[in-house]
Amino acid sequence: MGERFDMSRPIYAQIVERLKAKILAGVYPPGGHLDSVRDMAAAAGVNPNTMQRALQEMIRSRLTSTQRIQAADDQFGGQDVLTAVIQSSSASVGILQALCATGAITYGTAFPIIMGQNIGTCVTALLSSVGANRSARRAALVHLYFNVIGTVVFMVGFYSIHAIVPFGFVEDTAGPMGIAVIHSVFNVVATLLLLPFSRGLEKLAYLSIPETEEEKQQKEMGTLLDERFLEQPAFAMERCKKVAMTMAETAKQGFLDAMSLLDKYDEKTARKVYQKEEEVDHYEDELGSYLVKLSSKNLSQQDAETLSMILHSISDFERISDHAMNIEESARKIKEKEIVFSDKAKEELKVFEKIIQDILNLSVTVFLEEDSEQAREIEPMEEVVDRLTKKVKKRHIKRLEKGKCTMDAGLVLNDLATNFERVADHCSNIGVCVIQSEEEAFDTHEYLDTLDKGKDSWFNARYEVYKQKYMLP
């Protein structure tokens, strides 16, 4: 037997009201399936078209959604099912208002339901944040914490007062207007109460999803490289120096971490290398763009030279960071293929690693302090690195011919030597940039040409010192 309807009102509208009441009562739970249109129409005693119109209204109100699923017994290859989904507190409040028309809901019953509806609506934001960035997930959590804390405070306050001074309306039958007022009052009161504690909600979100080192550095960079500082070129230049210093230290530490993997590989250190490489790339992009904008401003001669030095050097630091990734890859191969170097190769690598560490540390110090005197020490060290590269590769070939090492070990050793040499080249570029920045009459090409031809006695003397210091066994 079908349901009874008021013929003075549209039947589909009455079906919608009854479906809303069933959803709220749990007859159709969230995520559950409704019966087919034909079955629901037969149960209600109405035309399938009328039921279809009612369901379309439910879909339009976002109370249900449709999905196409395969059915083995369906000759047409599929059937439509409807899933009940409460999308927002407004929608659920609308259902509660419709249920009030039955006269079975009191304000005492409606009050906790409304509070629960406000918490339930947070699910939508939480689901939307799945797969999003960390900031989006924190925003969803702030929404959740706001509603949960607001609900707890509001209910504790309400029932505490009610216990002392009973509210007469609690046992009264709830009406649509009363439901709307309670919902609005809750949101207004919760906002007013929690607005002064917005920083606390933010901290709570960051406790739930901690800030990464990359996020901290990006925040710091955004503070330092504020475009408003461009109107004060000297001040902006100082900010650029701080960021460039951080970039230099990050690139250096990333490469040293990569070198440590050659002795003992571990995933934690490898992840640090990757992280630092990404940070350096970000530094280069942001700082490079900022320096280009700053270069168009009215800079002093000294600031202009410093800007040029930083702009040229940051690309070398970025390349050093790239070579750190190459070293990490070689270390991974050593672990995965269980490569074992000969004792001689190990000794040669130790010498090679030592001079690379020293020249890299010196280059960063020179850059940070803008010390042109120390910068001159880099070039003779770089020349020694070139010499070591040739000798290490030559010795490897001899060991390979004698069968004292494997092909895999030789390839890895060759890659390491090549990357070490290129890092030294970038250190040389940084040193030359610092010297050029400090000395107005400095000619880079003439300087390097003089060194290549061995015409500089000081250079020759320092070269001999470093050659003896980093002598292969």
Tens of pLDDT, residue by residue over 137-162, are 878 888 888 888 888 888 888 888 88
Identify the domain boundary among 53, 85, 117. 85
Helix axes 11-25, 48-60, angle to 10 degrees: 60
CATH of residue 439's domain is 1.20.58.220
Give pLDDT, residue 363: 94
CA distance 30 to 431: 67
Q: Are residues 219 and 320 in the same domain?
A: yes
Q: Are residues 356 and 467 in the same domain?
A: yes
Is the separation of the CB atoms in 44 and 2 below 8 Å? yes
Mean pLDDT of 341-357: 89
pLDDT above 90 coverage of the chain, percent? 17
Identify the domain boundary among 85, 118, 148. 85
Higher pLDDT, 359 or 140: 359
Provide DSSP, 376-434: TTHHHHHHHHHHHHHHHHHHHHHHHHTTSS-HHHHHHHHHHHHHHHHHHHHHHHHHHHH
Q: Are residues 74 and 143 in the same domain?
A: no
Residue 253, pLDDT > 90, answer yes
What is the helix (H) or strand (E) element at residue 84, kind and residue range? strand 79-84
Higher pLDDT, 91 or 256: 256
Provide DSSP, 97-135: HHHHTTT--BHHHHHHHHHHHHHHTHHHHHHHHTTS-HH
Residue 431 lies in a domain: yes
Is the separation of the CB atoms in 86 and 120 below 8 Å? yes
Give pLDDT, residue 446: 56
Q: What is the pTM of this model?
A: 0.57
Residue 415 lies in a domain: yes
Indicate the pLDDT class of residue 87, thresholds 50, 70 and 90: very low
CA angle 77, 80, 81 (to 5 degrees): 130
Q: Are residues 302 and 246 in the same domain?
A: yes
Closest CA to 48 of 58, 37, 57: 37
Picking from 65-79, 315-329, 373-387, which range would have the lowest pLDDT averaged per residue? 65-79
137: which 2 tokens? 């997930």
C-alpha separations of 230 from 225, 244, 285, 312 in Å: 9, 17, 17, 20
Residue 403 lies in a domain: yes
Please compute Rg for the chain using Cα positions: 36
Q: Are residues 431 and 360 in the same domain?
A: yes
Residues 6+ positions from 397 with CB-CB distance below 8 Å? none
Picking from 89-103, 256-270, 307-321, 364-378, which range would have the lowest pLDDT averaged per residue? 89-103
Q: Are residues 309 and 365 in the same domain?
A: no
Phi, psi angle pair for 145, to nearest 5°? -60, -40
Higher pLDDT, 200 or 96: 200
Residue 347 lies in a domain: no
Residue 73 lies in a domain: yes
Q: Are residues 364 and 471 in the same domain?
A: yes
Residue 198, pLDDT > 70, answer yes
Higher pLDDT, 117 or 260: 260
Q: Are residues 323 and 219 in the same domain?
A: yes
Residue 346 lies in a domain: no
CATH of residue 65's domain is 1.10.10.10
CA distance 55 to 287: 57
Q: What is the mean pLDDT of the chain?
A: 79
Indicate the pLDDT class of residue 92, thresholds 50, 70 and 90: low
Is the separation of the CB atoms in 242 and 164 below 8 Å? no
Q: Are residues 473 and 358 in the same domain?
A: yes
Picking from 86-90, 128-132, 291-295, 305-309, which range would have the lowest pLDDT averaged per residue? 86-90
Structural domain harbouring 274: 213-336
Q: Are residues 296 and 225 in the same domain?
A: yes
C-alpha separations of 341 from 255, 257, 273, 472, 473 in Å: 21, 20, 23, 16, 15
Residues 6+ positions from 380 with CB-CB distance below 8 Å? 459, 462, 463, 465, 466
Query: How many Cβ atoms from other residues are within 10 Å of residue 350's Cβ?
Result: 13
Is the separation of the CB atoms in 395 and 344 below 8 Å? yes
Mean pLDDT of 199-204: 83
Q: Are residues 48 and 111 in the same domain?
A: no
The three-state secondary structure class of 270 is: helix
CA distance 193 to 397: 76
Indicate the pLDDT class of residue 216, thresholds 50, 70 and 90: low
Residues 6+ positions from 218 with CB-CB distance below 8 Å? 282
pLDDT above 70 coverage of the chain, percent? 81
Closest CA to 325 of 393, 276, 382: 276
Closest CA to 427 of 323, 351, 320, 327: 320
The number of distinct structural domains making up the chain is 4
Identify the domain boundary among 85, 112, 134. 85
Give pLDDT, residue 50: 79
| Alpha helices per DSSP H over 229-266 | 233-260
CA distance 332 to 312: 32
Query: How many Cβ atoms from other residues are within 10 Å of residue 360's Cβ?
Result: 23
Residue 445 lies in a domain: yes
Query: Hey, what long-range contacts does 311-316 have (CB within 8 A, 24 or more apart)?
Result: 312/429, 312/433, 313/244, 313/248, 313/367, 313/429, 313/430, 313/433, 313/434, 314/244, 314/247, 314/283, 314/284, 314/287, 314/288, 315/284, 315/288, 316/426, 316/427, 316/429, 316/430
Give pLDDT, residue 449: 59
C-alpha separations of 189 from 185, 193, 194, 205 in Å: 6, 6, 9, 22
Give pLDDT, residue 257: 94
Q: Are residues 288 and 399 in the same domain?
A: no
Q: Which pLDDT tens digit goes with each residue over 303-331?
A: 888 888 898 899 999 999 999 999 999 99
Give pLDDT, residue 260: 93
Residue 351, pLDDT > 50, answer yes
Residue 3 lies in a domain: no
